[in-house]
């Protein structure tokens, strides 16, 4: 494998466990709209496509913009109160930073909430570039989000690794022709990740220490 220069991370389910915050905010929104609350697993499985896409199946397309306002007001607080690191995430970022890798984020989460979360967890400083779905024309699984990061940080596809927790992340990496590391700590089951044929797969981030 060509020596890696750039490692790009997804956020939710990969570096940070923000599911309790998302579940809390979504069920709060449903309660305000007099809609029955949903289970944690139902909500977790819907995460990864952006907050508007998250809400639509639960509130209906005609209510989604109004629901989004409620959700985002609540989420500013719940994201701070309920988010925690995934196992090995903070250690890994410290290690990669010391080793001189360029680090970036590619997320379908809106820019405002991505930066809020990364600042709160005190890891924004590790990243050379953060790119979110609402900053570009197409979000994941379109490869443009990764290609823009590679262009910005002057890294080739052979020098880049993308780390994510969902089948959509592996698809994005494959379409951008970069190496992919799938971690089964998020919204996709391990069998769904394997189906997309990532270059590496693990049930936590610790394996990355060995690979790198």
6-17+85-211: what fold? Rossmann fold (3.40.50)
The pLDDT value given to residue 51: 87
Residue 207's Cβ-count burial label (10 Å; 0-12, 13-18, 19+) is middle
Helix (H) / strand (E) containing 30: helix 19-32
Helix (H) / strand (E) containing 180: strand 179-183
Mean residue pLDDT of the chain comes to 94
The pLDDT value given to residue 1: 61
Average pLDDT over residues 115-133: 95
Q: Parse the chain into domains and list their residue ranges.
A: 6-17+85-211, 19-82
The pLDDT value given to residue 212: 84
pLDDT of residue 207 exceeding 70: yes
Correct CATH for 19-82 of 1.10.1740, 1.20.1070, 2.40.160, 1.10.150: 1.10.150
C-beta neighbour count of 37 within 10 angstroms: 15
Please tell me the distance from the alpha carbon of residue 48 to that of residue 169, in angstroms, as a whole number.
9
């Amino acid at each position: 494998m060509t020596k890696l220069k750039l490692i790009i991370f997804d956020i939710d389910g990969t570096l940070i466990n923000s599911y309790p915050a998302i579940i809390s905010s979504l069920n709060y929104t449903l309660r305000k709209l007099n809609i029955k609350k949903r289970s944690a697993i139902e909500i977790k499985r819907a995460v990864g496509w952006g907050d508007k896409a998250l809400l639509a199946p639960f509130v209906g397309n005609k209510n989604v913009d109004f629901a989004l306002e409620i959700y985002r007001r609540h989420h500013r607080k719940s994201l701070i109160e309920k988010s925690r690191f995934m196992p090995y995430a903070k250690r890994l970022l410290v290690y990669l930073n010391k080793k001189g890798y360029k680090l970036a984020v590619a997320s379908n989460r809106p820019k405002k909430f991505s930066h809020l979360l990364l600042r709160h967890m005190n890891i924004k400083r590790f990243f050379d570039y953060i790119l979110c779905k609402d900053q570009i024309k197409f979000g994941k699984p379109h490869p443009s989000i990764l290609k823009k990061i590679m262009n910005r940080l002057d890294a080739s596809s052979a020098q880049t690794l993308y780390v994510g927790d969902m089948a959509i992340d592996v698809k994005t990496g494959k379409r951008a022709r970069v190496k992919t590391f799938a971690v089964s700590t998020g919204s996709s089951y391990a069998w769904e990740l394997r189906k997309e044929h990532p270059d590496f797969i693990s049930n936590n981030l610790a394996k990355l220490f060995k690979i790198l």
